[in-house]
Each structure stands twice: as structure tokens, then as C-alpha cells.
Amino acid sequence: MHFSVFSDIKEYCETEAFNATCESDEVILLTHARYGRMRVGRCVKMDYGHVGCASDVLDLADSRCSGRRQCEIRIPDALFAKTKPCPDDLKPYMEANYECLKGKMITPTHLIGCSKMAEYGTHQNCNPPAGQATFEHCPPA
């Protein structure tokens, strides 16, 4: 199986956007997505006693990105904020990572490789949102 890996988990601060894009014969597979104040760094300059509060939002982000060729999630995100990872007066950020999996389009309603997705322990719902192009994994060339 061929895939491109974006191995670095990146931070997306307030007013920024997570953008995932794959080649025309690939689809996104999110491998990591957390929302909150994970650590002092680029998005959190000082620890005011609430560093380390976070929610795993992989399933939420997954439903918007995985199986697509491209997606964007703007920060702050109203859906992620409902998980209430930190006190409301603190600004959360997102950290995320994804892979691009090689695939071929077969029908607009048939989903790709739940087997590959299951390796990550995610993607329990293997039905794409309406209008989402879906793909099937191709064997290695």
C-alpha cells in the first residue's frame, strides 16, 4: 500500500486553519487531532495553570476530513469547543497530523479501506458524508 506520511504533529493557533491536501489519486487519513491547551509553545506562550487540558477530537475531525482529497478546519472551531477541554476564557488550539493514502475512485457511495483506518483504532463509522467522494485502496504497484 502506498501512502504519504506527514509525520510531524503541527499546531494550529487561534485564527489559523488546519489544511490537509493530498494528490488527486490519494485521500486523507487523519492520525491525530487534539483540541485544547496541550503545552507551552507556539500557540500557548505562558502557563497560567491550565496547560495540559485537551480533548481528543479525532473522530470529529475525521468525519470532516478522512476519505477526502482536501479539507480545512478553522480555529477556533465551534464543534471542537463543545468538548469543553479547558476553561472558557482560555484560547485553545488544535494539533493534528494526517497521511495521504493512495486510492482509486470506484463509486460515489462506496468507502475506502476501513481496514487501514481500523489500524489506527478510529474510523468506526465507515460511511462518508453526503457528497463526499470515496475511494478504495489500491494494491502496491
Q: What pLDDT digit, counting tens, does each position of 58-112 carry?
A: 999 999 999 899 999 999 999 999 999 999 888 999 999 999 998 754 544 334 4
**Could you give the percent of the chain with pLDDT greater than 70?**
68
Residue 122 pLDDT = 41
CB 28 within 8 A of CB 65: yes
CB 89 within 8 A of CB 77: no
Residue 21: Cβ within 10 Å count: 13
Q: Sketch out the chain's domains with CATH numbers.
A: 3-137 (2.60.120.740)
* Mean of per-residue pLDDT scores for the chain: 77
Q: What pLDDT digit, counting tens, does each position of 15-41 carry?
A: 999 999 999 889 999 999 999 999 999
Q: Alpha helix locations (H) across the chain?
A: 58-65, 78-81, 114-118
